Structure 1
């Protein structure tokens, strides 16, 4: 699910800089949808570089692991992601959770800085951190074991939506491990190290891999595109803008569940590209409310132009239809905002010769969709109202089907010597 809120006028220059650095951040596309800590633009520190040019320097860039807030939430989005849900073993206890989180935190801290953890059997694969971030989240079972009284009321499944066709294999989980990185090899190595750490404590429930444009693949300032060809990053409360702190970490009416903590709603959204192929460009743009070529609203000429929902066409009908995605995702309530980050997925299929019809989630020549990550202080107050409007009447629902849904509490960061979640023990 995505939203299409009105941007703060003073934030466009900063937004363009942030988007351009890695070809887009956030999402104004399908679905509902680092603060202080940016060093320069990327918020990363440069290690000594070789003579191999920009690619080598970028591969050695790091994002901090230790700090009041976890990296990977407000960090400038990387090219690749892996969202991993773990289910705790039977008999898990507060003490076993503490031990698992300490091991995971120690090894994540090393990997994000380009250092091989103890007992890493391929230490050379950790040498190019490429802005790797590791973010941990807790599901209801974890909170009930370690701090039931502090578990937020919103930490539960989202309400049922009519468009959902959720598959249990993509739902919930006890522990979230979110990996984001600009190099796929580095990410894969980090994933294996951390899963080896956790296998005495938990089993993998699901892994959702995603991708964006790689560094340097698009011109500076161009937003991410999804696999429908849509510009997918128009409006978002970016770090440094007025709304970001309130939206993500809570203030001015939102009480954070814990200081420097937030929440993650993760939605897996199947995109039916076969039936999308049957729609011509005007029909697609009518459904979205934006021009596909550049993301400009149908009433504007540039991506960040403010849509004019009152404008009428030659026959007296609204230029931007009431059922269009950007119209349905709009709200007059300033509290209904989220900070979102979207990754594409495109999986191989066994039989690439068929067709997938409307509402179907299998068949066709591809298995394509979005991994939609939405961060906010309170999902019930911020995410759910937006999704309800999209559920009621969003033309894009013709081509999209949510097939997975999960909600996690994202705890604060930790200091060196501690571990993520230690404030709850």
Structure 2
């Protein structure tokens, strides 16, 4: 399973499990400083709970997603060892402490609002001992007519998504998690993004994509029964409280978008660029009036407007919980810009796929956007202090 040569400390930690590694974390944290503790209010999210915490949290200011493919030698037992090791790492990192064997412990700092989300791709459930545990509808998405998918940004057996207020904390956490995964899996793609979910007054706002649109207005409100029904899966048993994640890398043609008048841009979206309000309303969260017509009898929100086609009332009540990260990719003097689109839902096939097909067929924004990456992951539920990630699947 692992090379017969002498194992590294990291490999030994992977076999030792979370308990021993947790003790090592505590010892390292004490050894780093002799300063007395200071009473500072923590902004960090607890790594423990019924659900992985970043799902319902606001989009982070800085984030990196890494997909990895399992080595052929990584069986169910080895995957369990990796999840125990990662669980220990996640607890340390989110609490601002170095991971066991951390080569740059000074970069582990508190109050970065750091979160780590872990997911399993469809191929994980083709491994011996795991085939009976695949969540409903967890399959790679079919290639849509407007897709131009690249292997560079698609697929993957495992996902780690790290977010924080501080970009250095993100880079450091990713390095540690990828290094500790080396005996079990290797990276196949990385995507970095950013988001501004804070208004000028310091209060939370929905945030904007690089087209200037307020992006994510129609989401179900976190903590409501509607949100719970949309996001959290009710089976299989090990997966209760988990969710599924679709990652779509969408390239945006900002140059041709900028050629449009503001009115043309708003008709394509179906919302005002200034506030995110429907073009039939005045405030961001006003309901869309899909029947409204102008003086010439034209629909105010056109038939192919993104807001109309994606609205739950035109999709048999189907909802998703969408989040986004803006990205730029520079190659010499050339820059690619776009959106890392993240969709959480209880059932990919039942909720997301019909919506995707509808948008692919008619969305006005297809003229200025191209999906170049696609991946699907099962996001296991959270864990308690006496447990570890996906224990009910892998123990």
Selected match of 2:93 from 91, 111, 114: 111
1:69-80 to structure 2, matched below 5 A, reads 69-80=51-62
Q: Does 1:93 align with 2:75?
A: yes
Q: Does 1:178 align with 2:161?
A: yes
Q: Does 1:399 align with 2:368?
A: yes
**In the alignment, which residue of structure 2 is the partner of 1:301?**
282
Instruction: Check conservation: 1:152, 1:257, Cα contact below 8 A.
Output: no
In the alignment, the residues of structure 2 paired with residue 248 and residue 280 of structure 1 have an alpha-carbon distance, to the nearest angstrom, of 37
Structure 2: which 5+ runs fail to align? Answer: 1-36
**In the alignment, which residue of structure 2 is the partner of 1:413?**
382
Selected match of 2:206 from 220, 223, 244: 223
**In the alignment, which residue of structure 2 is the partner of 1:23?**
none
Cα 1:339–1:131 shift into 2, 3 Å: same
Post-superposition offset of 1:214: 6.8
**In the alignment, which residue of structure 2 is the partner of 1:83?**
65
Instruction: Check conservation: 1:210, 1:371, Cα contact below 8 A.
Output: yes
Secondary structure of 1:369's counterpart equals: strand
Post-superposition offset of 1:370: 0.6
RMSD value over aligned CA atoms? 2.0
> Runs ≥4 in structure 1, deviation > 4 angstroms?
47-50, 214-219, 254-257
Q: Does 1:131 align with 2:113?
A: yes
1:20-59 to structure 2, matched below 5 A, reads 49=39
**In the alignment, which residue of structure 1 is the partner of 2:257?**
276
Aligned residues: 356
In the alignment, the residues of structure 1 paired with residue 189 and residue 316 of structure 2 have an alpha-carbon distance, to the nearest angstrom, of 35
TM-score (norm 1): 0.79
Selected match of 2:175 from 162, 170, 192: 192
Post-superposition offset of 1:76: 2.8
Instruction: Check conservation: 2:84, 2:389, Cα contact below 8 A.
Output: yes
Post-superposition offset of 1:221: 4.9
In the alignment, the residues of structure 2 paired with residue 299 and residue 290 of structure 1 have an alpha-carbon distance, to the nearest angstrom, of 8
Structure 1: which 5+ runs fail to align? Answer: 1-46, 51-56, 353-365
In the alignment, the residues of structure 2 paired with residue 214 and residue 374 of structure 1 have an alpha-carbon distance, to the nearest angstrom, of 17
**In the alignment, which residue of structure 1 is the partner of 2:304?**
323
1:278-333 CA-partner distances (Å, limit 9, x unpaired)? 11111111101111111111111111111212111121111111111111112335
**In the alignment, which residue of structure 2 is the partner of 1:154?**
137
**In the alignment, which residue of structure 2 is the partner of 1:313?**
294
Pick the structure with greater CA Rg.
Answer: 2
Instruction: Check conservation: 1:111, 1:129, Cα contact below 8 A.
Output: no
In the alignment, the residues of structure 1 paired with residue 188 and residue 316 of structure 2 have an alpha-carbon distance, to the nearest angstrom, of 36
Instruction: Check conservation: 1:265, 1:375, Cα contact below 8 A.
Output: yes
Selected match of 1:369 from 331, 334, 338: 338
